Structure 1
Amino acid sequence: MSFAEQLHRLQAFLDADELHDEALDYVAAHGYLTALSICAETVPDREWIDALFAEPPHYADQAQHEEIESTLILLKAHIARQLASDEEFELPCDLDLGDDPDDSELRGWCIGFMEGVFLRESAWFENDEEEVSEMLLPIMVGSGLFDEQPEFADIAADANLMDDMIVQIPEALTALYLLLHAPDEKPAILKPRHH
């Protein structure tokens, strides 16, 4: 079975209504896996798979169980390769929140991404908190999870600003990946290491 076919079957499985309400659908799972691929700390497969589904899904049989989980792991590796390449990162949805942001796939992708961040929040922010926060901003805005905070509410109220931020997501992902995986490529300020 080709990777495309495996992805197709994964998508059908994740987008089915039978899954737990808290489980991530395909587009949200893609965002989630993107965050996990960017995070400098590796989260064990078992942990992130269980968190993705919220509760164990009902598989038809053991073969389907293995196939879905191995496809998720393959997709995560595929996303990591994309992030590490020089090409612009492609999201599985339009970079547009549309007329009803809550229904848009992009919002789902951003929420999934933030779920991935929350899984290891300290690992994201421990070294370059300000820079990481700045790069995460377009995704945080897209997720709608922070709209109750005044600065986010202001951005959400300005459609043009919102669009400007949303289109920066692919660049932000590449920048975050480089920041968290190849910190030596930028001039580092040497700090004394405390033991």
Structure 2
Amino acid sequence: MSYSTSSLIKAINHPALADKVMGPTQAQGFTFAIVSAPALIPTKDWWPMLFVDQKISAEIAPEARDAFLQEIMVYFKHAVDELKAPEGFTFPDVCDCKDNNANVELMAFCAGFLQGYHWLSDLWQDRLSNLDDESKSLVSQTLLGSMVLSGHPQLPAMLKDTPKDQLPVVDDVYADMPKTLTIFATFGRRIAAAETIAELKKAEAPKA
């Protein structure tokens, strides 16, 4: 099944999901954060986070719920496939940035990504504490770029002491972010894969 943002929008627009789930690009951003996680996260754990109440109400019609999950998982697979492709990550087709202004869909995607990272922050901090400065810098760069493109309200305070000629330019951040997110997600997935292999080897090791 091929990926299409319009199919996700159609699923989200089901009356049974009105005001109960994230918007489509916000949901894609959160899902990409899960794709990038430095540990394997079962779908049953992160999927409810896409709902406004962070749980799936029993009142939601099963067909609407399942159609939404199906489209999210199509995007999940699409994102994984992109990371393996030469071109790497690309923003959803509805995201755009012109004249230093991110459109609302790009802002929503980056906001969703930051929400996902925040949800996973304990996992990231635990791994980063054992990694080098270059790895920590990659994560910081990714988060800063996402904050710039999402119009994060804390950004002005964070950058208040930054010289004017060193302030991030939105158009430049937008141009760089696909590569940055590709490296970030690949990095996180390699950590997850290494830990999985280590656990398998540990489980297979003969007991003394």
Identity of aligned residues (%): 19
8 Å contact from structure 2 (residues 96, 106) kept in 1: yes
Hey, what does 2:65 align to over in structure 1? 65
What RMSD in Å do the two structures reach over aligned CA positions?
A: 3.3
Query: Contact 1:98/1:104 (CA < 8 Å) preserved in 2?
Result: no
2:9 aligns to what? 11
Q: CA deviation at 1:49?
A: 1.6
Aligned to 2:178: 170
Post-superposition shift, 1:129? 2.6
Question: Contact between 2:108 and 2:150, CA under 8 Å: does it hold in 1?
Answer: yes
Is 1:53 aligned with 2:48? Answer: no
State whether residues 34 and 76 of structure 1, in contact with CA within 8 Å, keep that contact through their aligned partners in structure 2.
Answer: yes
8 Å CA contact retained: 2:12, 2:24 = yes
State the one-letter code of the partner of 1:104.
V
Task: Find the structure with the greater CA-based Rg.
Answer: 2
2:164 pairs with 1:144: no
Q: Which residue of 2 aligns with 1:113?
A: 113
* Equivalent residue number for residue 28 of structure 2: 30
Secondary structure in structure 1 of the residue aligned to 2:70: helix
Pick which of 29-38 and 144-153 moved more: 144-153
Alpha-carbon distance between aligned partners in 2 of 1:148 and 1:160, rounded to the nearest angstrom: 11
C-alpha distance in structure 2 between counterparts of 1:45 and 1:27, whole Å: 19
| Letter of the structure 2 residue corresponding to residue 177 of structure 1 | A
Matched letter for residue 35 of structure 2: S
Cα–Cα, structure 1 residues 159 and 24, in superposed 2: closer, same or farther, change >3 Å?
farther
Q: Where does the alignment leave 5 or more consecutive residues of structure 2 unmatched?
A: 129-134, 192-208
Q: Which residue of 1 aligns with 2:95?
A: 94
Matched AA of 1:143: S
Report the alpha carbon displacement of residue 68 of structure 1 after superposing the two structures with TM: 2.1
The alpha carbon displacement at 1:34 in A equals: 1.0
Question: 1:96/1:43 Cα in 2 relative to 1: closer, same or farther (>3 Å)?
Answer: same
Task: Tell me, in whole angstroms, the C-alpha distance in 2 between the residues paired with 1:152 and 1:31.
Answer: 27
In structure 2, C-alpha distance between the alignment counterparts of 1:157 and 1:77, rounded to whole Å: 40
TM-score (norm 2): 0.70
Higher relative contact order (CA 8 A, sep 6+): 2
Deviation at 1:8, TM superposition (A): 3.7
Which amino acid in 2 is paired with 1:132? V
Q: Distance in 1 between matches of 2:113 and 2:6?
A: 21
Q: 2-side partners of 1:155 and 1:124: how far apart?
A: 29
